[in-house]
Amino acid sequence: MFTKVLIKDHIRVPPQFFNLPLESAITGQIKKKYDGYISKDFGIVIDVSEINSIGEGVIIPGDGAPYYETEFYLYAFKPELQEVVYGRIRDIADFGAFMNLGPIDGMVHISQTMDDFVSFSEDKVLVGKESKHVLKVGDRCRARIIAVSFKDITNPKLGLTMRQPGLGKLEWLEEEKAAPEQQAEKKESKPGKGEK
């Protein structure tokens, strides 16, 4: 889920940024320091939201740049188990599909793409044997997070499923939603007993 995280840190402002307003200089340095930062505690940093407070600058001998104790908010994406997420299929391999969720990709194993026997074709398409559902690069989907691993902090892993009801390619979900309505219309159009 996307969250707003409160952080307190000492931010170094190099001398070449002394000509900028203090808040602008600090915001730039926070962005530089935290851009793409990944943490098990608050997830993947997306951007700086706002600066709460800036303390007095302290110069460390031999450095020449002041350090400001700063309290600020960051926007972050922290994946949670069982969370339902939306994304777009970025790539397909013989073992599954990679779905882009914005700041990170998740992997949907081929067995978790649909409730059907799935085959992989050379042109990077997954096809359901009985349902005839087709999953290809660029498709928009809804999935559930079933595994989160921060073992390699520079490359967190997300496992996704699309097999549960209400999950899958958005077009499939629209078809499922329309199917009961179409069946109801057919029943209404058939004459009942005693009708001509």
The per-residue pLDDT for range 101-121, each reduced to its tens digit, is: 988 999 999 999 998 899 898
**pLDDT value of residue 192:** 54
**Of the ranges 22-26, 37-41, 123-127, 176-180, which one carries the lowest mean pLDDT score?**
176-180
What's the average model confidence in pLDDT over 125-146? 92
**pLDDT above 60 for 170:** yes
List, by residue range, all CATH 3.30.1490.120 domains of the chain: 2-77
The pTM of this model reads: 0.76
CATH architecture of 84-180: Beta Barrel (2.40)
Topology of 2-77 in CATH?
A: Dna Ligase; domain 1 (3.30.1490)
What CA–CA distances, in Å, run from 195 to 54, 96, 185, 191? 81, 53, 17, 6
**pLDDT value of residue 187:** 58
Average pLDDT, whole number, for the chain? 88
Give the start-end residues of each E strand in the chain: 2-12, 38-39, 43-59, 66-77, 84-93, 96-100, 105-109, 118-121, 125-128, 134-136, 140-149, 157-161, 168-169
Tokens read off for 125 = 């398409």
List, by residue range, all CATH 2.40.50.140 domains of the chain: 84-180
- Name all contacts of 16-24 with Cβ < 8 Å and 24+ positions apart: 22/54, 22/68, 23/51, 23/54
Split at pLDDT 50, 70, 90, the class of 39 is confident
